[in-house]
Structure 1
Amino acid sequence: MKKKILVFITISLLCVLNVSAQETFKVMFYNLLNYPLEDAVPNREDDLEYILTDYKPDLFLVCELNNSAGATNVLNIAKTAINSNIEMATYVSNTSDDNIGDQNDLQNLLYYDSAKFIIEEEIIVPTYLRDFNVYKLKLNTVDQVTNPVVFYVIVCHLKASEGPTNQQRRFEMVQDLDAYLNTLPADTNILLGGDLNIYTATESAFQELLDTSNNITFADPANRVGRWNNNSSFVDVFTQSTRTQSGLGGSRGGFDDRFDFILTSENMLNTAHITYVPDSYQVYGNNGLTSCYNSRINSTNCGNSTSEFSFEIRDALHNFSDHLPVTVLLETDATLLNVVDAEISRYFELKNNITRYFLNIYINSHLLFNEYLDIYNSLGQKVKTLQLNSEKEQQFDVSDLQSGLYYLASPNQQIKSLKFLISN
């Protein structure tokens, strides 16, 4: 009897503490293209929801937010598409350009999973044009008081356009950032996501970021340093432009530039308590096809039947922004607190939120064994009922359902429904 009690206590503790040898976090940086003031493409919020539903970042770094209303819109989309634990840092309009035109409508911001991360400090590093927004984060670990895992996230948007004057301006902005970084310990863990608007790695702003004589030196985790502009050999890291058609807002030059980056401090490549996962750097939506050079991202030149990113994903990316997001994975061996969200239940989960033919469901509670789950369409009409068994993972044929948005719910348990997309 005592042995059974001990086993029960152990299992209970494992339910409270998310014990894992390795915790992995998904990071995405995205230029939102003048959101929400740019309205040439109607209902582009639906495209953003589609993108976030597919990738589900734990940290979502953005630039080109216009106002607080737009920031809140993105938050609400993220809460629906990712999970209800997503929160945002404080929205503060750009403070840097009051002396040259007061154009304070392009702001950076961080969205984060509040069950995994705690914001300890928010810092603004001003420049002549746009702020660097710096966020000091702490992992929500079981021993965060005695052994905190702390790192910094920087979100930025450097001066655009070619030419010596603009290159110098970008360099001066990075120098302002360096002045702040000099106030931090040299072993500080830092992740930087931004639209750097840099055409080649030889540009002084990029060289300054990678300068090994700096207090903190950044690294390109993709290890794709070179002359990117109009060079098809770098197509796998191109992020702009997703478009060739005029009238959609933003650039329409076709796929030919690497402007968007996620960089890490060198120590995050291998020695920090939170590190970059090797080979995880990816431009989301970029299938790495040379034929995509100078094309629109949703064209047949940029994807085929064996490509990772489908037409549906690439079409959503094309419609929402003239940039593609950049993603990386981070990992830690620290143990996170399992902050259970009563709305996003642990009772059941979906293996994929976007599917064509089959829905794979993980059942995490005996309360759902041999129960039913109902599928509702976007109008709230029940279109299908699934009979569960007692297996941990169960697969159901949904090929008879048309393309669109659906909800999966339990008629007998008070569990929030899960959203999924069928893309035929």
Structure 2
Amino acid sequence: MKSKVYLILFFIAFSFNISFAQETIKAMFYNLLNFPLQQPASSILNELELILDNYQPDLFMVCKLNNLGGATMVLNMMQHGINVNYEMANFVLNTSDYTISDQNDLQNLIFFDNTKFSLESQTEVTTIYRDFNHYVLKLNTVNQNTNPILLNVIVAHLKASSGTANAAIHNQMAQDLTTYLSTFSSSEYFLFGVDFNFYTSSEAGFQEFLNTNNNITFIDPANRIGSWHNNSNYVDVFSQSTRTTTSLGGAAGGFDDRFDFILTSENMQNNPELEFENGSYKVFGNNANTNCYNNAINSADCAGDDYNFTIRNALHNFSDHLPVTINITTIENLLSVDEFVENTTTFEILGTNIIQNKLKIKANRKPTFANYVSIYNPLGQIVEIVSINENEELIINTSSYSNRMYYVAINGVNVKPLKFVKVN
């Protein structure tokens, strides 16, 4: 009798696990600090690659991107250095500031893994100052034809600086967006990646987004609402400034503000079809160390268990903001894709990947359509194409290469690219 009971309990437990299996989507929002115009792009793109390779977002939302050239550089780096399945939405210029300054070099954009999402549409929501960019992504689920799940993604960058006049602009921009969203059903899912430039949650513009009378009401998944400016009690959600030096550009006041957010629509809380994972909201690079207050993110005062010096130093060098991240889950199954072939079995660098004059690569020629490897620079430009020989070992002369990082891809095989650094 006991064995039958145990068997029934086993099948109940098994059924429960099947019913509530989850797929996880990793999202990141990042202020790119005038990329690529702020600093020489070739010198800091490696820092961004280190950051993205460490987190590997499925959805990467950005603001303060200058131009199409910069967007293409980021995409090429992500495809060749991290995941060949990344693509980006259509790059469009901001139009809202035409009547104010015509500065027009602060753009928003998203990059995404096309095995997880397809881009259904995109819209520019104009305001009195800067555009909000609205993207509609469809999850690539097994049941997408009969039960499509759409994720609305809003990316924005509100005007900087404090004071009454700027607060009024913030509030008007917020109202422009909520007016636009008033045409949407409250059942739709929204993710909002934004550099708010709010110094406190009591500011009218922030409260406008949280207004429960709106069709789309946003919530803070971190649940850290308050007056965060220069308040070390909120150090765990601080995202700016990473720096105490003016030499790299951007703000130099040290770690003292929560400007960067990912908000969600309130229906993404405790909703198994699409919801944020409780406890997953993080400021990437922030070790929640109270000693970090007013210090540079790469200093010993900001050390901790979650983010080591290498990551924090890359964040410090790339931008005066930290990215924010969150996990989104669904009980729907995503379409499966072929995994990368492991480098150790098919494709590998022999010896160190710090190269002076010779690069040695082992490249399995089987299947036979793998006939050559291509070497790319960080901009995605082909530097050299080398045929694979019968011995499966290549020796490539790199003496004429510039000192920088490179990628090696093998044609016709789904293998993650290799990386090497050329030095004197």
* Same-fold call, TM cutoff 0.5: yes
Q: Determine the structure 2 residue equivalent to 1:382.
A: 360
1:417 is displaced (CA, Å) by: 4.7
Does the 8 Å CA contact 2:124/2:134 hold for their aligned counterparts?
A: yes
Distance 1:116 1:42, change over 3 A: closer
Q: Determine the structure 2 residue equivalent to 1:166.
A: 166
Does the 8 Å CA contact 2:23/2:329 hold for their aligned counterparts?
A: yes
> CA offsets per residue over residues 32-74 of structure 1, 9 Å max, x none?
0001110178701110011111110000000001111011111
In 1, distance between residues paired with 2:56 and 2:324? 13
Does the 8 Å CA contact 1:26/1:57 hold for their aligned counterparts?
A: yes
Q: Determine the structure 2 residue equivalent to 1:346.
A: 340
Distance 1:122 1:378, change over 3 A: farther
Q: Unaligned regions of 5+ residues in structure 1, if any?
A: 1-18, 350-360, 362-367, 386-403
Does the 8 Å CA contact 1:174/1:209 hold for their aligned counterparts?
A: yes
Of 320, 327, 334, the match for 2:325: 327
Amino acid paired to 2:288: G
Compute the RMSD of aligned alpha carbons.
Answer: 2.6
1:254 is displaced (CA, Å) by: 0.4
> CA offsets per residue over residues 104-159 of structure 1, 9 Å max, x none?
11000000001110111101100111100000111011221111011100000011
In 1, distance between residues paired with 2:252 and 2:162? 16
In 2, distance between residues paired with 1:197 and 1:321? 15
In 2, distance between residues paired with 1:44 and 1:171? 34
Secondary structure, in 3 states, of the residue corresponding to 2:103? Answer: coil
In 2, distance between residues paired with 1:298 and 1:421? 25
Does the 8 Å CA contact 2:81/2:407 hold for their aligned counterparts?
A: no
TM-score by length of 2: 0.79
Is residue 2:289 matched to residue 1:310?
Answer: no
1:274 is displaced (CA, Å) by: 1.4
Alignment of 1:189-338 (within 5 A): 189-271=189-271, 273-304=273-304, 307-338=305-336
1:80 is displaced (CA, Å) by: 2.6
Does the 8 Å CA contact 1:108/1:155 hold for their aligned counterparts?
A: yes
Q: Determine the structure 2 residue equivalent to 1:416.
A: 415
1:20 is displaced (CA, Å) by: 9.5
The count of aligned residue pairs is 359
Does the 8 Å CA contact 2:46/2:405 hold for their aligned counterparts?
A: no
Q: Unaligned regions of 5+ residues in structure 2, if any?
A: 1-18, 364-403
In 1, distance between residues paired with 2:49 and 2:114? 19
1:99 is displaced (CA, Å) by: 0.8
Amino acid paired to 2:26: K
> CA offsets per residue over residues 56-97 of structure 1, 9 Å max, x none?
000000000111101111111111333011000000010111
Q: Percent of pairs identical after alignment? A: 52
Distance 1:128 1:409, change over 3 A: closer
Secondary structure, in 3 states, of the residue corresponding to 2:192? Answer: strand
In 2, distance between residues paired with 1:52 and 1:34? 18
Secondary structure, in 3 states, of the residue corresponding to 1:119? Answer: strand
Distance 1:20 1:296, change over 3 A: same
Does the 8 Å CA contact 1:235/1:288 hold for their aligned counterparts?
A: yes
In 1, distance between residues paired with 2:272 and 2:121? 20
> CA offsets per residue over residues 150-190 of structure 1, 9 Å max, x none?
11000000111010110110010010000111010111100
Amino acid paired to 1:185: S
Amino acid paired to 1:182: S
Secondary structure, in 3 states, of the residue corresponding to 2:75? Answer: helix
Does the 8 Å CA contact 2:23/2:332 hold for their aligned counterparts?
A: yes
In 1, distance between residues paired with 2:107 and 2:159? 13
Does the 8 Å CA contact 2:354/2:420 hold for their aligned counterparts?
A: no
Does the 8 Å CA contact 1:375/1:408 hold for their aligned counterparts?
A: no
Distance 1:120 1:238, change over 3 A: same
Distance 1:278 1:382, change over 3 A: same
Q: Determine the structure 1 residue equivalent to 2:99.
A: 99
Secondary structure, in 3 states, of the residue corresponding to 2:21? Answer: coil
In 1, distance between residues paired with 2:257 and 2:268? 26
In 2, distance between residues paired with 1:151 and 1:199? 29
1:273 is displaced (CA, Å) by: 1.7
Distance 1:41 1:152, change over 3 A: closer
Secondary structure, in 3 states, of the residue corresponding to 2:25? Answer: strand
Does the 8 Å CA contact 2:341/2:416 hold for their aligned counterparts?
A: no
1:253 is displaced (CA, Å) by: 0.7
In 2, distance between residues paired with 1:95 and 1:378? 45
Does the 8 Å CA contact 2:241/2:321 hold for their aligned counterparts?
A: yes
Amino acid paired to 2:24: T
Secondary structure, in 3 states, of the residue corresponding to 2:112? Answer: strand
Secondary structure, in 3 states, of the residue corresponding to 2:26? Answer: strand
> CA offsets per residue over residues 246-277 of structure 1, 9 Å max, x none?
12111001000000000000010112621100
Secondary structure, in 3 states, of the residue corresponding to 2:121? Answer: strand
